[in-house]
Amino acid sequence: MRNARRVAIFSLRSGDIRTLTNSDIPLVFLTRNAENFLPSFLAHYRQLGVTRFLCVDDQSSDATREILLKQSDVELFGSPIRYGEADRGRLWRQELFRLFGIGRWYLNVDCDEYFIYDGYEEKSLHTLISQLEALKIMHCPAPMIDLYPEGVISSAVFDGSSDVMPWQVASMFDASGYHLKRDNRSMSLTGGPRKRILNEHVELMKYPLLYVQNPLALASSIHKPLPYYRNFSPILGSLLHFKFFSDALLFAQAAVADGQYYGGAHVYKNVVEVLSAHDDATLAGPHSVSFKSSRQLADLGFFAHLPEQ
């Protein structure tokens, strides 16, 4: 039964799986109706040095599949089961690790998350990985930083029709107001505008860059990868996270109706409540600042400066 379920998870677009080479840097991500993010998402990670994108599309109804099928560096998969049935995508990610091989580094993100690190503007992922290995760091913790527009959310249009990056439209973030703690499995971070405005204690710590030695690396959670002892490294990166553009209310309403998200999509229900009550809703607050560079985030303490090699 377990094998039958595993086989049912995927269907390839065509042909055989193209194996990864030793020099490839693969990125695993999931999509659903993400056509607005794909141009900037792919451009950002290609600039960092990602050579292969391994994607599961969760039955998109927009142009997502058509866009991805045109990309020569994207392996696109579909699934007869939905995101919720796949344990919020965890089973899909583990299956990609199994299919493409373990004993290597992977980026593991969502399509609204943009990984950055000290000097990412010029420093490639190959260089970062070499630095991590020299420091014996195999899981790179990175907090999600929610970015939002300076003004009214409903006026911040980001539709992917140009080469504009999302932080050029939603440039603001909370510079303080976070709480970091640790348990016996991982580090945990809460705070930001979703706590300040929505009173949500959303888990912000992820481990987007990790050396995968077992396809069950995410058996516990994407927030607590295995083995646990690797989850206490210095914080050396962040995920710029984008949920708040002009279509945020429609997106949240669709997420609630879709019924695939954790806890009955309670986070999205809160977004719907706040945004539908105020046409001029904004997330800006007294500690909001505009994103400028990786050095700025390192100086603010979101991640550490890396030593020069």
pLDDT of residue 201: 80
pLDDT at 7 over 50: no
pLDDT of residue 6: 46
Residue 215: is it exposed, middle or buried by C-beta count within 10 angstroms (0-12/13-18/19+)? middle
Residue 9 identity? I
Tell me the whole-structure pTM to 2 decimals: 0.91
Instruction: Identify the residue with better confidence: 9 or 67.
Output: 67
pLDDT digits (tens, 9 = 90+) for 247-269: 777 767 766 666 655 555 566 67
Of 283, 290, 88, the closest CA to residue 195 belongs to 283
pLDDT of residue 3: 42
pLDDT of residue 260: 57
Q: How confident is the model at residue 24 (pLDDT cuts 50, 70, 90)?
A: very high
pLDDT of residue 167: 97
List the structure tokens of 163. 């080469």
pLDDT of residue 259: 60
% of the chain beyond a pLDDT of 70:
86
The answer to whether the beta carbons of residues 84 and 59 sit under 8 Å apart is: no
Separation of alpha carbons 99 and 215, rounded Å: 9
pLDDT at 107 over 60: yes
Annotation: CATH topology of 2-300:
Spore Coat Polysaccharide Biosynthesis Protein SpsA; Chain A (3.90.550)
First to last CA, the chain: 50
Q: Which value, in Å, is the radius of gyration of the alpha carbons in the chain?
A: 19
Q: How many other C-beta atoms are found inside a 10 Å radius of the C-beta of residue 292? A: 11
User: Residue 160: which region, alpha, beta or left (left: phi > 0; alpha: psi -120 to 50)?
Assistant: left
Q: Where are the domains of the chain?
A: 2-300
List the structure tokens of 261. 């998200």
